[in-house]
Amino acid sequence: YHVSTFLGCVDTASKLMGCAASNSHVLLQGRVFYLGGLIGSTYSDVLEVTPVHGMVTVKNSAVTNCSIKTKQSRNSNESGGLVGWLSEGGTVENCRVSGMTTPSNTNSTHVGGLIGYIPESTTAAVKTTVRNCYVEGCTLSGKTSLSATLGNVVANSRAFSNNYYYNCTLNGDTDGNDLGAVAVTSGLTDGTLVSSLNASGNKNWMQGAASPVLNPDKTGQTEVTVMSYNIYYLVQNDSYP
């Protein structure tokens, strides 16, 4: 449970800003839940009593050319390019995922290029926010709730806006919840998409060589890179590693 290239589980109203993981690869054995390129989950049993503990914020962060794979053909559920499980009240803003690969088992469920799973909100006052994000070149596999951005969303109080994706390969039943995310086929190199991502006036995006990238001068992004080697998790009998 709670597997990623950077942080397995984050809780207690944490804030992650300006983080990046690149060229990092995780190899799993066994059945695993909550897989994320940057964070496995923001899940906690405390949420059942005090939702504020799940209000994790992830901003101005990126995942590039990372992968999470399994040695055996077993389900790996709640997989996201950035976050596997985003608890109610969480915020993901100005984040970029590029070249992420999730486990190839097409029996997996709740798989998204950005977030794998967002649960139902227990109160209308607690909103889950996902905005100004971009996903490109990801390879995702799943049986149900598979999409280029958001795998499965049952949140009844949410604010999703201004999210985009490009050139993602989906292997399985593409019945996830892009929820207004826009598939782009042009404008990646001429500044058009950058202007759209910066529409709220935050100026956190800039033009890269082939597509929009986060502007380190505006986001304060500090690259946290796990070196390009395999990280091995051994999971047996569907238990915690």
Please give the radius of gyration of the chain, using alpha carbons only, rounded to the nearest integer.
16
Of 164, 225, 201, 231, residue with least CA distance to 28:
231
pLDDT score for 98 = 94
169: its two tokens: 């390969």
What's the predicted TM-score (pTM) here? 0.84
Q: What is the mean pLDDT of residues 9-18?
A: 78
pLDDT score for 238 = 44
157 vs 214, higher pLDDT: 214
Predicted confidence (pLDDT) per residue in 199-220, tens digit: 877 789 999 999 999 988 775 5
The C-alpha angle with vertex 135 and arms to 75 and 35, in degrees rounded to 5, equals 25
Predicted confidence (pLDDT) per residue in 64-82, tens digit: 888 877 666 566 788 888 9
What is the phi-psi region of residue 202: left when phi exceeds 0, alpha when psi lies from -120 to 50, beta otherwise?
alpha
